[in-house]
Structure 1
């Protein structure tokens, strides 16, 4: 069948390609339209409109072109026939192969490639396979491999190991999420292209991007963009740089060597990283003296910490807005009164500590002024609800129940002689707390003694004044002290 001649402008051809990128949650699929300019000289190396080729219906390869390019559309069922006819064996040394629209889920015809010993360039485009079933075989002259615009999502580190002449590997615009390890490439390898893939930067990339010698092989390293939810639209190189710096900082300080340091966010405009340090279950007796720069979250649950003064005076804690101190031995938080930290914190978890009382008015003022406060947890503490403190604590929990989300689980001892008698603070009335204090025995404060003495003196003076007035009125006798006055 004669091939129809299509006239194409000499300057360029505009090719619109569609690629589907699925985000990390797999809940929605977005279609990205990318416009690519293909020069006239490169059109023959593209799979543009491959399905309209006559060979596409049978999954066959077209005859070898003058410049040594073999095109296969939807398969290469007639490759053996072409090879048997001797046309491939008489090909030039610079044989190039272009596979368009490979229909299979896995590319497993590597043995067929060995029938092309003079193959120097292999291009695979618009194919549905997700992985290579076998590694590439030994090819004596294959220098360039281009696999683009496919559903390829997994590559083994050994896939290209046996292609010893390989110099250029182009893996752009596929569905690669990560590389499990460094690709094993030949010693004389020169260029690797990886842009356009939906990289998941939440996972750790333990390979060559940040290594000075091997990193230069990734020609488009500055164009690799993250697509996962945490680091969406951030440069992969920047994310990996921040992760590496965080690891160095945590390992350089003795307090944090056994802790877990993670980067949980990068601010969109300023690209400042935000870190989380987790030191739970480490038998800490004090808060770490050092935290990496831009640490915003410290998780240090299930330890033996009683002193939280670093929140007040340690500059490393200035940016910490989330403090997880659950199941420690904190018994006093009053030293945080009027501090920058208390007026700017976002989350404070104090569940399961030894808190009995606190300055309610100070916490009330801090929560009233703090626009960032989102969560405060106070349950599972041995609160001691006297008449005065219990009433104020109840008012605080009622006022800020949207922030103190475990308010209904905050219990207290309201009978002084019965430490086991617990009740939910919000279920106790002021009368119950105050009556319980009276029933437990007389509680006379020293100021009450002073008030009694002053009252007695006032009564004595009034009685003496009445006595002197009576004797002066009826007997004309003035008090003795008046007669002594000059």
Structure 2
């Protein structure tokens, strides 16, 4: 019986404890504090932070904030703001304000303030903002231009945060009119990757900028996108990686030349063009951007191109333009070693030089190996060179090369002999009758001639022998040796 009474008391204790815990978990009605006020387009997140939606001017903001809170507000967030012109003059009723955030908004121009009591903003945050409706990225995103006119009224900022925006132009000169910007923070989004943004890398080195690896480059187009502008460009590649190559290219570009990073042809290697035409070069530069893919050295005075074959900075070339120079010789072994095992096609323009011969043996070897292994074929332009059409040790093989590899030599119709050629002045190579010029002529002596000469020599020997024997018999009475030993009956 006492066990039942003990169990009942235990149940009552447990029920009392649970009721007490439930009472503690439900606050009194008067203890519930609202986290924000939702009256009108603006609401209070914290006593010092206000969020407003759909604003067209900052003057509207002040009129929608309770008067007793205005002096405390330090942060203002504008969501879905529409096009308008902003000025700090409209913020005089918020004297403590130092941070403004635009979220998913049209960010238009900030005019210079005219009132001395306008608050000094020290922190600006743009998240998913734009102000270009006509300029789109390759993925049809609207872009953001932050020009001197757009930022004119924001001088004195200490921090500028740009989050998930696609920035077309970024000029901070007006922001730094009062004092230098301490931090530029770019998170996500994208940038139009051009040379005029190299200063961002310098700011990062100085600790004044932070750009995340998720920030990409983008391609801008006002019309139809082309395959080259999207695939072979900086599009969707890391901004920091692209700018690294741009900076390196600027550093290693020869002083006489122009260097330009076009984008990426492969995921890890950029497309770099090196333009050095008509600058009086007599030799190839030793230092060029290490990933250069296209070199244009036409209309110079270059005579030796061994640097092309031996310098590692030239290894990734896929277009080599050396037309209109003074090149007269190509080392066959160096050329073969340069071409074999290349991961890329290569086009070599050697038109209008001083070439009289080519390393035919090595070139044929390259084509033979390429056919067997499905490797890449080199392509040549060879017109307007003084080819030695009078040399029968070169001409037949050269004509065969041009004829059988005509798809690899686009200007084969224009390859001609020089005007001072003995046999074929200005004649097209593929039309030359090489056999008539270089085939061996008839032999000096035919077989019948050799036989006749042999018989004549034998007859002459017989006559000489007869005369010798006759002389011996008349003078000494001596018969010939063969008669003495002949048997007689």
| TM-score (ref. length: structure 1) | 0.66
1:339 is displaced (CA, Å) by 3.2
Residue of structure 2 in register with 1:156 after alignment:
147
Residue of structure 2 in register with 1:132 after alignment:
109
Residue of structure 2 in register with 1:258 after alignment:
256
C-alpha distance in 2 between matches for 1:93 and 1:289: 65
Contact 2:74–2:97, Cα closer than 8 Å, also in 1: yes
C-alpha distance in 1 between matches for 2:61 and 2:258: 61
1:248 and 2:251 correspond: yes
C-alpha distance in 2 between matches for 1:365 and 1:423: 28
1:260 is displaced (CA, Å) by 2.4
RMSD of the alignment, in Å? 4.5
Query: Which of 71, 79, 89 is the aligned partner of 1:100?
Result: 79
1:233 is displaced (CA, Å) by 3.7
Query: Which of 119, 122, 132 is the aligned partner of 2:100?
Result: 122
Where in structure 2 are the equivalents of 1:182-197 lying within 5 Å?
184-185=175-176, 187=179, 189-197=181-189
C-alpha distance in 2 between matches for 1:145 and 1:338: 59
Contact 2:187–2:211, Cα closer than 8 Å, also in 1: yes
- Paired positions, count: 401
Residue of structure 2 in register with 1:360 after alignment:
360
1:126-153, Cα deviation, whole Å (9 max, x unpaired): 2245x42635777435333222112242
Where in structure 2 are the equivalents of 1:410-425 lying within 5 Å?
410-413=415-418, 416-417=421-422, 422-425=426-429
1:301 and 2:301 correspond: no
C-alpha distance in 2 between matches for 1:80 and 1:172: 25
Residue of structure 1 in register with 2:455 after alignment:
463
Structure of greater Rg: 2
Residue of structure 2 in register with 1:480 after alignment:
none
Contact 2:88–2:119, Cα closer than 8 Å, also in 1: no
Contact 1:351–1:377, Cα closer than 8 Å, also in 2: yes
C-alpha distance in 1 between matches for 2:322 and 2:174: 43
1:393-445, Cα deviation, whole Å (9 max, x unpaired): 443233223321222333335884588x534444x2x54x666x5xxxxx9x9
1:64 is displaced (CA, Å) by 5.5
1:210 is displaced (CA, Å) by 2.4
Q: Which runs of 5+ in 1 are unaligned?
A: 1-42, 46-52, 56-60, 251-255, 438-442, 478-482
| TM-score (ref. length: structure 2) | 0.66
C-alpha distance in 1 between matches for 2:269 and 2:181: 35
C-alpha distance in 2 between matches for 1:189 and 1:324: 46
Query: Which of 405, 412, 423 is the aligned partner of 1:407?
Result: 412
Contact 2:277–2:300, Cα closer than 8 Å, also in 1: yes
C-alpha distance in 1 between matches for 2:104 and 2:146: 17
Query: Which of 362, 378, 382 is the aligned partner of 1:378?
Result: 382
1:204 is displaced (CA, Å) by 3.6
Q: 1:89 to 1:339 in 2, by over 3 A?
A: same
Three-state SS of the structure 2 residue aligned to 1:177 is strand
Residue of structure 2 in register with 1:239 after alignment:
242
Residue of structure 2 in register with 1:62 after alignment:
42
